[in-house]
């Protein structure tokens, strides 16, 4: 656990907006050295200008987290120019919806690249660095936080590609936690599972690489985009509140971080269905009119 963040080093992917930027703002107030990583150069420049105004060191790197060589360059830069990080936030993420068989190879490559491979690269590159520092310094404490989603614990329809990536991140992070417990008490891990929180994720297409351009959207994909924008935009919990939960979790060595704990009732229903060997529960049981509307739209 990390209880004193002053003069500690943080590396945050997706650091120019959403949860990444809000965590960076907290880190800056606490006196941390920040390395912000994002694909948006203009957003990085704005974030750096804002956060440097608080007096701390802020480095930025424009990186596609799906790119293994670019992530290696990032890790090399951090190790040689900044120092071993204490807080690594593998947070960059994108979203796409639609019926799972309608997603193209490009859709799969894009989401798997950012949402899963981005986390994998962050784990495989920074964990050994942090463990080596722990061996050198018995006072060192490090924490890795990977951003998944409540979609990593549930299986809502019409967003299977996103669900798949986030379930993988939950499994990866649970295993990372267990593996770290085998070798050290100085480095730990948490998984962030937000529900609908107003961030920029519903406008993910703005950052889609040209070589992974989307096809003409299907009806299900258009519906999924509209539903996502509505749900995310109406979220009552802010990204800043979620970021504070991240720092609280690191201070308490709390593994699961939830923006909406009340949504765990849905997770319980899914777990009970698994244990009882029944069909997956109806995702629209609480709001049957939404499910009925979606079925009508997709069965024409």
pLDDT digits (tens, 9 = 90+) for 185-194: 999 999 999 9
- If we measure between CA atoms, which residue out of 290, 212, 246, 29 comes closest to residue 143? 246
Please classify residue 282 by burial: count the beta carbons closer than 10 Å to its beta carbon, then call 0-12 exposed, 13-18 middle and 19+ buried: exposed
pLDDT in tens, 214-261: 778 888 888 888 877 776 766 689 999 999 999 999 999 999 999 999
pTM for this one? 0.94
Phi-psi region of 119 (alpha: psi -120 to 50; beta: other; left: phi over 0): alpha
Question: What pLDDT digit, counting tens, does each position of 28-84 carry?
Answer: 999 999 999 999 999 999 999 999 988 789 999 999 999 999 999 999 999 999 999
The stretches of the chain forming alpha helices (DSSP H) are 18-29, 41-52, 68-77, 105-111, 118-136, 160-183, 219-233, 239-252, 264-275, 288-298
Handedness of CA 22, 26, 29, 31 (dihedral sign): negative
SS3 helix, strand, coil % of the chain, rounded to 5? 55, 15, 30
Q: How many residues does the chain have?
A: 300
Lowest mean pLDDT among 13-22, 106-115, 117-126, 211-220: 211-220
**Domain made up of 9-261: CATH architecture:** 3-Layer(aba) Sandwich (3.40)
Q: What is the pLDDT of residue 50?
A: 95
Q: What's the rounded mean pLDDT across residues 77-102?
A: 96
CA distances from 122 to 17, 100, 216 (A): 18, 27, 33
Residue with tokens 């960076």: 24
Domain map of the chain by residue range? Answer: 9-261
Beta bridge partners of 147: 192
Residue 144: closest CA among 40, 266, 11, 49: 11
Helices and strands, counts by H and E, the chain: 10, 7
Q: Which helix (H) or strand (E) holds 89?
A: strand 87-90
């Amino acid at each position: 656990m990390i209880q004193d963040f002053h003069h500690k080093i943080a590396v945050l992917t997706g650091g120019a907006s959403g949860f990444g930027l809000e965590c960076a703002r907290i880190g800056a107030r606490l006196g941390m050295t920040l390395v912000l990583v994002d694909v948006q150069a203009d957003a990085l420049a704005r974030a750096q200008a804002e956060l440097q105004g608080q007096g701390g060191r802020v480095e930025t790197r424009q990186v596609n987290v799906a790119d293994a060589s670019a992530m290696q360059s990032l890790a090399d830069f951090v190790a040689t120019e900044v120092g071993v990080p204490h807080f690594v936030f593998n947070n960059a993420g994108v979203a796409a919806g639609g019926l799972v068989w309608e997603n193209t190879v490009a859709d799969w490559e894009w989401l798997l690249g950012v949402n899963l491979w981005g986390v994998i690269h962050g784990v495989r590159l920074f964990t050994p660095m942090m463990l080596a520092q722990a061996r050198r310094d018995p006072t060192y404490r490090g924490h890795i936080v990977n951003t998944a989603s409540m979609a990593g614990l549930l299986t809502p329809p019409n967003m299977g590609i996103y669900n798949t990536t986030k379930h993988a991140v939950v499994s990866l992070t649970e295993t990372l936690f267990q593996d770290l417990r085998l070798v050290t008490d100085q480095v730990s891990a948490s998984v962030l599972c937000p529900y609908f929180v107003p961030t920029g994720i519903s406008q993910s297409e703005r950052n889609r690489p040209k070589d992974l351009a989307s096809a003409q959207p299907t009806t299900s994909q258009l519906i999924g985009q509209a539903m996502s924008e509505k749900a995310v935009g109406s979220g009552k919990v802010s990204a800043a509140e979620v970021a504070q939960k991240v720092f609280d979790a690191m201070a308490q060595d709390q593994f699961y971080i939830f923006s909406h704990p009340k949504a765990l009732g849905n997770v319980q229903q899914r777990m009970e269905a698994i244990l009882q060997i029944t069909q997956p529960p109806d995702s629209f049981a609480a709001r049957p009119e939404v499910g009925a509307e979606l079925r009508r739209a997709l069965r024409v």
